[in-house]
Amino acid sequence: MSLDATDVSGAATPKTVALPERPRPSALVIGLAIGGLVFTVLTARRIGFSLDGLIENLQRPNPVFEGLLHTAWGEMFSPRSRAYFVETLQMATLATVAGVAVSLPMALWSTEVGNPYLVPRVILRSINNVIRSIPDLVWAGLFVLGVGIGALSGVLALFFFSLAVMVKLTADTLDGIDMGPIEAANASGATHTQMLRTAVIPQILPAFSSYALYDYELNLRASAVLGLVGAGGIGERIDFFRNRGLWDQLWGLVVMFFIVVFVVERISVSIRRRLV
């Protein structure tokens, strides 16, 4: 509102200013919305989704939900469950450290800032695209077949998962850094390594550290399912209860895992807010 008008007493009076007209959605946006709605309906009919059937199934006796009502809280403190949790934390920590250490040079060499040569840059990007296209559970299944059942398969699967996440996020950050310090380093006669160390890495270090903590959270969550294919961690204990229908004890384990993940996530978020 503006005060360019005055009343008879000489005091300024507010003048109403019309708000600009809200832009209407374009034909493309409307078409995409309608297309998405039609595709969703057709997909639901294709897979036989029925809301009535869903409600009917929920009303039937379900041992999984009944187990939730009778959660075995003691399972949270059993020695065997604690041992599996410790193994899960160790797997996530080891895979994160290894993945982060390898991802930094790989991300630098796959971007124009860190690698002036086109061919090796394209090769590295292609390798990372292949790594990223394979889900962590598939990696775990492959390593179980290759190196056997156990935590080593889980660590290797989480390592490749970390590599894919960290290289992608770091490379995207490198594409948007300030070129001023790089030009200054080159103008002063710095070598390529010195330029990366003094003008590039300091710019991405806060974001890179934040990505590493985020990657640790992802690895911790992912390790819960790797045990379903024999790759160690708390997933093996969950699979043990699931195969025997011990749902009350399974829910006790899930609650314990939720608490651990929640605490780790809160600590990670608090640290990341200070870094970025």
Q: With H, G, I as helix, E, B as strand and everything else as coil, classify residue 32.
A: helix
Higher pLDDT, 87 or 18: 87
pLDDT for 266 beyond 90: no
pLDDT band at 15 (very low <50, low <70, confident <90, very high): low
Round to whole Å and give the CA distance between 63 and 86.
29
Query: In this structure, are residues 93 and 220 in contact, taking their beta carbons and an 8 Å threshold?
Result: no
Round to whole Å and give the CA distance between 170 and 127.
15
Report the 10 Å Cβ neighbour count for 16: 7
Q: What is the DSSP annotation of 54-121?
A: HHHHHHS--HHHHHHHT--GGGGG-HHHHHHHHHHHHHHHHHHHHHHHHHHHHHHHTSTTT---HHHH
Closest CA to 106 of 214, 208, 180: 208
Q: Domain boundaries in the chain?
A: 29-60, 69-273
Round to whole Å and give the CA distance between 69 and 67.
5
Predicted TM-score of the model (pTM): 0.76
Is the dihedral angle over the CA atoms 51, 53, 58, 63 positive or is it negative? negative
Residue 22 has phi, psi (to 5 degrees) of -65, 130
Architecture of domain 69-273: Orthogonal Bundle (1.10)
pLDDT for 13 beyond 60: no
Round to whole Å and give the CA distance between 275 and 214.
12
> What confidence tens digit (pLDDT) does each residue in 195-251 have?
888 889 988 988 898 899 889 988 988 887 888 888 888 888 888 888 888 888 888
Closest CA to 161 of 133, 188, 184, 189: 133
Higher pLDDT, 30 or 268: 30
- pLDDT, position 275: 67
Query: In this structure, are residues 185 and 195 in contact, taking their beta carbons and an 8 Å threshold?
Result: yes
Task: List b or e across 180-203, with b for residues whose CB sees 16 or more CB atoms inside 10 angstroms.
Answer: eebeebeeeebeeeebbeebbeeb
The two three-digit tokens of residue 111, written as one number: 């971007």
- pLDDT, position 101: 94
- pLDDT, position 100: 93
Round to whole Å and give the CA distance between 209 and 213.
7
